[in-house]
Chains A and B, each alone.
Chain A
Amino acid sequence: MGAAARPEPTAVPAADTPSATLDRATRIAYLLHLADNALVLGQRNAEWCGHGPVLEEDLAMANISLDLIGQARLLYQHAASELGPDYSEDRLAYFRGPDEFRNYTLLELPHTGPLAPGARADRDYAVTVVRNYLYSELMLRVWHGLQHASDTQLAAIAARSLKEVRYHLRHSRDWLLRLGDGTPESHRRVQTALNHLLPYTNEFWLHTALEQAASASGLGVDMASLQADWAVAVDASLASASLQRPAAVANRLPLGKQGQHSEHLSYLLAEMQSLARAHPQATW
């Protein structure tokens, strides 16, 4: 992030009137949800930097992370300008705890299959590919809709992000096909990753009061209107990749966008935030 960091914990300050409080808090919370998604996935994907399976994929993940973190910066800057002069993109990224983050749980999971608490495993690129595919297929539609958001700055960010997510989708879908329709081993691993990750996408379609308020006010997109189109696109890709859509898992409903995260987000944030918190007034 850019400027000097601030150590104070973040809380949305009260506004003058109840209705203004609702509107302002809704707007800021919605921006932070979008920003947190981009930052957390950007940070996750950046773990491949220097460790990619091949050089070209190392470059691809670094570039995609750069796009995502760039999107997060624009959204945090916008949220900070709404919050007031005491706020900055750095404060929002580095000085909020895991329970204040509003990203989808899907995006904070490590690049591995399911792990027992405290367990570790090598990163699996199939998990990276499947997650990036499922998220890009969603964000293509979200950014497309947000181009017409009532908040002109958000609309401008969406217009740019739409261009970028098209490349992210192309990359992840390309690899989904190659791995799914590749060797028996690549097929097995990408199918396993899909079985692991797809249930986490249930969270995309959970209607929260925040998203309903954002959508009703013209700020956000109506997520329900995207679900059928997303599912058709995902099914078409899975069919092309010779992959089976796993049976629906009804009892899996992650709540990351409401602040209830897996243990993994804490580790991710600890690594990402430790330097800024150790030197809270540093500038660079």
Chain B
Amino acid sequence: MSDADVTKGVAAEKWPGSALPALGGAPISAPDAVPSALRPADGSAPSLAQVEALLAQIPDPEIPVVSIRDLGILRAVFWQDACWQVVITPTYSGCPAMGQIADDIAATLGAAGLPCRVLTQLAPAWTTDWINEATRQKLRDYGIAPPHTTLPAPSLQPVRLVPRRDASPAVACPRCGSERTTETSHFSSTACKALYKCLSCLEAFDYFKPY
């Protein structure tokens, strides 16, 4: 699929009935029932729930143990203009996985014979706070320390502090659970992770940075 199929950055208010869920992993908010007049013509049309279930299986390209829904990237799905409209929100501005995710959505629904269009929505900005506890456990089991919650409100003041390692909340090792860990590098294999080392079991591990 080319970028031409992806509408970039359209404002939230354009989506009918897609009030956004507060948390990733919560039920995807969309019209409860697709009006029958808008359904595909044949009687075997899949329900919204079935389409959501298909989408919820799509793994994140870089962390395949969690789905795009688990991470809160999948924001809404609804039927309009004779196809399924799937709204995703990018993580980091430069995340190279976004194109892959749009491709995967088109391929998944395409394989099920469902016409679709992938839409990108920027606001509200994605945050790691949308990752729920079940997903955090999946990350831990995979060897990635899940993110701490972000600061209450983005303001200028907190970032003015001198970075002090001992003032940051401890990041527990996903392997042995020890909180005796140290940051090796603030930037790691992907934009969303930092590299840590456990001082108890001496294993290196990734920490999913709060965003």
Residues of A within 8 A of B (CB): 2-3, 56, 59-60, 62-71, 73-74, 77-78, 81, 140-141, 144, 147, 152-153, 155-157, 159-164, 166-167, 169-171, 173-174, 177, 229, 233, 240, 283
The reply on B54 being an interface residue by CB < 8 A is no
A2 to B96, CA, bound (A): 11
Q: What residues on A are CB-neighbors of B155 within 8 Å?
A: 144
Across the interface, B185 reaches (CB within 8 A) one of A56, A74, A170, namely A56
A74 to B156, CA, bound (A): 23
Q: What residues on B are CB-neighbors of A166 within 8 Å?
A: 154, 159
Evaluate contact between B185 and A60: CB separation under 8 angstroms: yes
28 residue pairs of the A-B complex, CB under 8 angstroms, read A2-B3, A56-B187, A56-B195, A59-B185, A60-B185, A60-B186, A63-B190, A67-B92, A67-B93, A67-B191, A68-B94, A73-B93, A74-B93, A81-B9, A140-B156, A144-B154, A153-B11, A160-B126, A161-B93, A162-B154, A163-B125, A164-B93, A166-B159, A169-B159, A171-B187, A173-B163, A233-B160, A240-B162
Known pairs A3-B3, A156-B125, A160-B125; A167 contacts B93 (CB<8 A): no
What's the dominant secondary structure at chain B's contact region?
A: loop
Residues of B within 8 A of A (CB): 2-4, 8-9, 11, 90, 92-96, 99, 122-127, 154-156, 159-160, 162-163, 184-191, 195, 209, 211
Evaluate contact between B93 and A160: CB separation under 8 angstroms: yes
Evaluate contact between A152 and B211: CB separation under 8 angstroms: no
Evaluate contact between A157 and B92: CB separation under 8 angstroms: no
Q: What residues on B are CB-neighbors of A169 within 8 Å?
A: 159
A65 to B94, CA, bound (A): 8
> Whole-angstrom distance from the CB of B209 to the nearest CB of chain A?
7
Q: What residues on A are CB-neighbors of B186 within 8 Å?
A: 60, 167, 170-171, 174
A175 to B95, CA, bound (A): 25
What's the dominant secondary structure at chain A's contact region?
A: helix
A147 to B90, CA, bound (A): 17
Evaluate contact between B11 and A66: CB separation under 8 angstroms: no
Evaluate contact between B4 and A144: CB separation under 8 angstroms: no
A141 to B123, CA, bound (A): 19
A162 to B3, CA, bound (A): 26
Q: What residues on B are CB-neighbors of A65 within 8 Å?
A: 94
A141 and chain B: residue at smallest CB distance? B156
Known pairs A2-B3, A3-B3; A156 contacts B187 (CB<8 A): no
> Whole-angstrom distance from the CB of B130 to the nearest CB of chain A?
13
Q: What residues on B are CB-neighbors of A152 within 8 Å?
A: 11, 123
A199 to B124, CA, bound (A): 37
B94 and chain A: residue at smallest CB distance? A70
Evaluate contact between A64 and B187: CB separation under 8 angstroms: yes
A71 to B122, CA, bound (A): 12
Q: What residues on A are CB-neighbors of B188 within 8 Å?
A: 59
> Whole-angstrom distance from the CB of A127 to the nearest CB of chain B?
19
A275 to B211, CA, bound (A): 34
The 7 closest A-B CB pairs, nearest first, are A70-B94, A70-B93, A66-B94, A156-B123, A56-B185, A156-B122, A60-B187
Q: What residues on A are CB-neighbors of B191 within 8 Å?
A: 63, 66-67
Evaluate contact between B4 and A77: CB separation under 8 angstroms: no
> Whole-angstrom distance from the CB of A79 to the nearest CB of chain B?
11
Q: What residues on B are CB-neighbors of A140 within 8 Å?
A: 156, 159
* 8 additional contacts (CB under 8 A) given A152-B123, A156-B125, A162-B154: A63-B187, A68-B94, A77-B8, A81-B8, A140-B159, A163-B125, A164-B92, A171-B186
Evaluate contact between A77 and B9: CB separation under 8 angstroms: yes
Q: What residues on B are CB-neighbors of A141 within 8 Å?
A: 156
B93 and chain A: residue at smallest CB distance? A70
Q: What residues on B are CB-neighbors of A63 within 8 Å?
A: 187, 190-191
Q: What residues on A are CB-neighbors of B3 within 8 Å?
A: 2-3
Q: What residues on A are CB-neighbors of B159 within 8 Å?
A: 140, 166, 169-170
